[in-house]
Amino acid sequence: MKKPAPEYSFMVQVLRLKPSGEVCQLNAPEPARRALCHRLDLLSLDSLTATLTLTPEGSSQNVAARGVWSARYAQRCVVTLEAVAVVRHNIPLHAVFMPRAAMPDDVSLEDDEDIEEIPANGEMDVGEWVVQHLAAQLDPYPRRPDAVFEGVKGDDARQPFATLIDIRDKLPKGKQ
């Protein structure tokens, strides 16, 4: 089964990286941000940027990736359904990208580092990696600071078992 194409890609050819490392500036274009809104259920995604330093590790095909990402987006409030504006600024990223064949069973990395796979073609998609970090930071229940849930009003305020109580009250005394 073929994986769907990511909405935002920034492909890096591992073998073309300088031994001293390279800095990559990512800035998701508007069409990609629109597609990401649909994927991540956002009302808007005004910006998604990242600054990454990619450094090959010795003679191996591993690549250390470090940097930060920032985003401005809006989610729908779970109470009022209005927009909740969110700004994430300079959120750290740390990972080691390595080919599947090079991945040992027991890997010891710093607690804040991830292991990411480099596909067999030697191209790593750091754009999708940044998008996954954005997705992990999204609030599953965004709420405006001034939002107040007042519950259900009127006839709908009845408790879930109120109908059963009504039926019980209508039964003859011996059948309850």
CA–centroid distance for 150 within its chain: 30
How much of the chain is in helix, strand and coil states, percent to nearest 5? Answer: 25, 35, 40
**With 70 as the cut, is the pLDDT of residue 166 above it?**
yes
Q: For the chain, what is the radius of gyration of the CA atoms? A: 25
**With 60 as the cut, is the pLDDT of residue 110 above it?**
no
The better pLDDT of the pair 158, 66 is held by: 66
The better pLDDT of the pair 15, 106 is held by: 15
CA proximity to 70, closest of 50, 92, 99: 50
| Percent above pLDDT 90 for the chain | 61
The better pLDDT of the pair 1, 34 is held by: 34
The better pLDDT of the pair 170, 37 is held by: 37
Q: What is the pLDDT of residues 33-59, one digit of tens each?
A: 999 999 999 999 999 999 999 999 877
Q: Which long-range contacts (CB under 8 A, 24 or more apart) does 146-153 make?
A: 147/77, 147/79, 147/80, 147/82, 148/79, 149/79
Residue 158: predicted pLDDT: 61
The better pLDDT of the pair 142, 111 is held by: 142
**With 70 as the cut, is the pLDDT of residue 161 above it?**
yes
Q: Using 50, 70 and 90 to split pLDDT, how confident is the model at 112?
A: very low
Residue 150: predicted pLDDT: 76
What is the mean pLDDT of the segment spanning 5-31?
A: 95
Strands 123-125, 11-13: pairing kind = antiparallel
